[in-house]
Structure 1
Amino acid sequence: MSVDAAKALKVITGSSRFEASAKDYTVAQAAANFVEAFWDPRVHRGDACRVFMPIGTPDFQLRITWRRVDGAPTGTPAPKFTVLKMSEETLAAADMAYIQFACTSDKLADPLGPAHIVIGVERWGMPKPPEDDVEALKDAYATVAHSFSLAMAKELRCEKNGGLPAKPVLDPA
């Protein structure tokens, strides 16, 4: 996770300490799971990582997921999302963000074109709308999603890192 993403996690959770995740929750394992599922029509999504607050603090769970989609994004996002200028599509809200990128890689050789991957970062179990600075939260979720997306693109050896910039772009499209 990038330094910017670590700072963003503090904005989201209010903490810089977290419980250790299971060994299954690494970028390398998420990429391996994606490659394994790439040609399996029954598997379209999976968990990449979970972030938990330390034991004895308020319950909070952040989930990072991957999803395989059939092509470039279409349609209009829900009003709660701000569209950002990153990759194929980046959507940020005060409790989640999604980045879709296209990956051409020897690990995902597909004669029909690049693989389209969506990385999602979502807060689970949020009983009410956020009371904090909504714009800061949107930026924070987008920053975490960018960090994981870029790491995933590098792990999958996507050409040009799947079109993801080196740093998150938080400007609305």
Structure 2
Amino acid sequence: MTHVRKTIKPIASGLAACLLLTACGGDKEPEEQRVTAAQQCDDTLSPDAGRALEAVLRTKKFVHDPRGGLNRSGEELTADYEERGRTTMHPPMCRVAVPGSLDRLDIDFGLYDVDEPFGDVHPRGLHAYDMGREAQSGPKKAYLFVTCISSRFNGSEQRPARIRGELTFTHSELPDTPAIRQANLTVLHSVTLAVVKRLGCENNAGLPDKPVFTPKPD
């Protein structure tokens, strides 16, 4: 019985010590709660894009957004290219949600086919802008299409990677105004620019440092 008591005591002491630490992880602190606009989408939002995000989602505080989407999207796009994917889709690179609300915004990336840039979906009510290869924006969706030449895409000197960035609202009652369309494109441009920089695209895949809102004729 003495031997049993000596065994139990160290175990109990160890459990007590573990409870004093964060998730038994030593002195490692929990991940910072990323709830401001600037912290969304792996810190890819410019100051203008952060303000645009606050405007279209009508809040300054967001549901916690963990890191990791930027690296994952880069890996998915390079894998798609190696597999010679024409039109590809993936889970959102980032998801921005409002506490206690149905309002949510997703941004995702994939490859596009020059003949069917939107894939199986042909959205209506979008307006064209002169940015990248093509840019389209409306109150509930925005698209930004670019082509990328990079060492990450083997053979892209002859066959540039065609990258589609897509911003989608799951719930929105925003009006179809130039200000709303431009705000959506500002957010999407900022995240797309970070993606093409991460991929090492020549000339940032043709994207300017700041978004361009020159309308294209219908």
Q: TM-score, normalised by structure 1?
A: 0.85
SS at match of 1:28: helix
CA distance, structure 2, for counterparts of residue 19 and residue 3 of structure 1: 19
- Structure-2 residue corresponding to 1:18: 62
Higher relative contact order (CA closer than 8 Å, sequence separation 6+): 1
- Asked whether the equivalents of residues 94 and 141 of structure 1 are also in contact (C-alpha less than 8 Å), the reply is yes
Q: By percentage of residues, which structure has more helix?
A: 2
Q: SS of the residue aligned with 1:167?
A: coil
Instruction: Tell me which protein shows more strand as a share of its residues.
Output: 1
Contact 1:72/1:88 (<8 A) preserved = no
Match of 2:151 among 106, 126, 139: 106
The aligned counterpart of 1:120 is 166
Partner SS state of residue 38, structure 1: helix
1:159 aligned to 202, 205, 216, which one?
202
Match of 1:60 among 73, 82, 103: 103
Task: Specify the structure having the higher radius of gyration (Cα).
Answer: 2
For 1:53, the aligned partner's letter is V
1:146 aligns with 2:189: yes
What is the SS of the residue equivalent to 2:213? coil
Matched residue, 2:46? 2
Distance 1:73 1:100 in 2: 12
Taking the aligned partners of 1:22 and 1:157, their CA distance within structure 2 comes to 24
2:114 pairs with 1:44: no
Distance in 2 separating the partners of 1:169 and 1:66 = 20
How many pairs are equivalent?
166
Whether the 8 Å CA contact 2:145–2:165 is kept in 1: the answer is: yes
The answer as to whether partners of 2:126 and 2:138 remain within 8 angstroms in 1 is yes
Distance in 1, matches of 2:160 and 2:75, equals 17
- 1-structure distance, mates of 2:151, 2:116: 23
Deviation at 1:96, TM superposition (A): 1.2
Superposition RMSD in Å: 2.3
Query: What percentage of residue pairs aligned between the two structures are identical?
Result: 26
Paired residues of 1:73 and 1:89 also in contact (CA < 8 A): no
Contact 1:96 1:120 in 2 (8 A): yes
Q: Which residue of 1 aligns with 2:141?
A: 96
Where 1:119 maps in the other structure, the secondary structure is: strand
Letter in 1 for 2:78: V
TM-score normalised by structure 2 residue count? 0.69
